[in-house]
């Protein structure tokens, strides 16, 4: 809370830029401790970003009209526009996944999240994320990188599906 007693504000501009005003990244994780599978599912953006870790109440999503900086930018969001035009809930429903547009050009984590949703279903994906979050896996640790930012798709899928090995 700020000195005035109001919550600190933060805005997601896009996946490369996160502007935080008077708030630490670790606080976002604490705000998400009561997150549910339903809230995670609701906040998965068209491209696979987990917007619930930007705004703990899950309202930050490309599906809301006033939060997604990428969607509201002059260029718009390729993934949102493409999904909307095709009547898709997300890129995981696209027969042409994985294209090399938007965040898929250079974000292995996000591409892999969408692949996991496509293969395992959105319910299982949300359960993986929640379980891993409760086990200490951090979505955003430093700026916009975290524990899921691993060097290979296989390593990211293993972390998603298997979680962390405890006590070993």
Average pLDDT value for residue range 127-141 = 89
Average pLDDT value for residue range 157-162 = 96
Spatial separation of the C-alpha atoms in residues 127 and 16, rounded to whole Å: 26
Q: pLDDT tens digits for 56-96?
A: 555 555 665 555 666 667 777 888 889 999 999 999 999 98
Spatial separation of the C-alpha atoms in residues 11 and 146, rounded to whole Å: 18
pLDDT top residue among 51 and 96: 96
What pLDDT band is residue 106 in, cutting at 50, 70 and 90? confident
CB atoms within 10 A of CB 43: 25
pLDDT of residue 85: 93
Given a cut of 70, is residue 142 above it in pLDDT? no
Average pLDDT value for residue range 107-131 = 95
Q: Which of 6-15, 133-142, 147-156 is the least confident region?
A: 6-15
pLDDT top residue among 95 and 15: 95
What pLDDT band is residue 15 in, cutting at 50, 70 and 90? very low
| Residue 98: its H or E element | none
Q: Please say whether the dihedral angle defined by the alpha carbons of residues 68, 73, 77 and 81, taken in this order, is positive or negative.
A: positive
Spatial separation of the C-alpha atoms in residues 11 and 54, rounded to whole Å: 8
Average pLDDT value for residue range 133-141 = 86
Average pLDDT value for residue range 117-125 = 96
Q: Residue 119 has which token pair?
A: 């293969």
């Amino acid at each position: 809370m700020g000195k005035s007693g109001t919550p600190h504000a933060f805005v997601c501009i896009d996946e490369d830029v996160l502007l935080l005003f008077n708030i630490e990244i670790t606080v976002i994780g604490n705000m998400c401790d009561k997150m549910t599978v339903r809230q995670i599912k609701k906040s998965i953006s068209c491209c696979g970003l987990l917007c619930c870790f930007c705004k703990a109440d899950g309202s930050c999503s490309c599906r809301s009209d006033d939060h997604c900086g990428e969607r509201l930018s002059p260029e718009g969001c390729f993934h949102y526009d493409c999904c909307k035009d095709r009547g898709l809930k997300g890129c995981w429903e696209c027969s042409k996944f994985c294209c090399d547009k938007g965040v898929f050009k250079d974000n292995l984590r996000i591409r892999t999240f969408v692949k996991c949703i496509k293969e395992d279903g959105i319910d299982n994906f949300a359960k993986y994320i929640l379980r891993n979050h409760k086990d200490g896996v951090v979505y955003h640790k430093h700026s916009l990188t975290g524990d899921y930012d691993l060097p290979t798709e296989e390593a990211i899928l293993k972390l998603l599906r298997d979680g962390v090995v405890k006590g070993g």
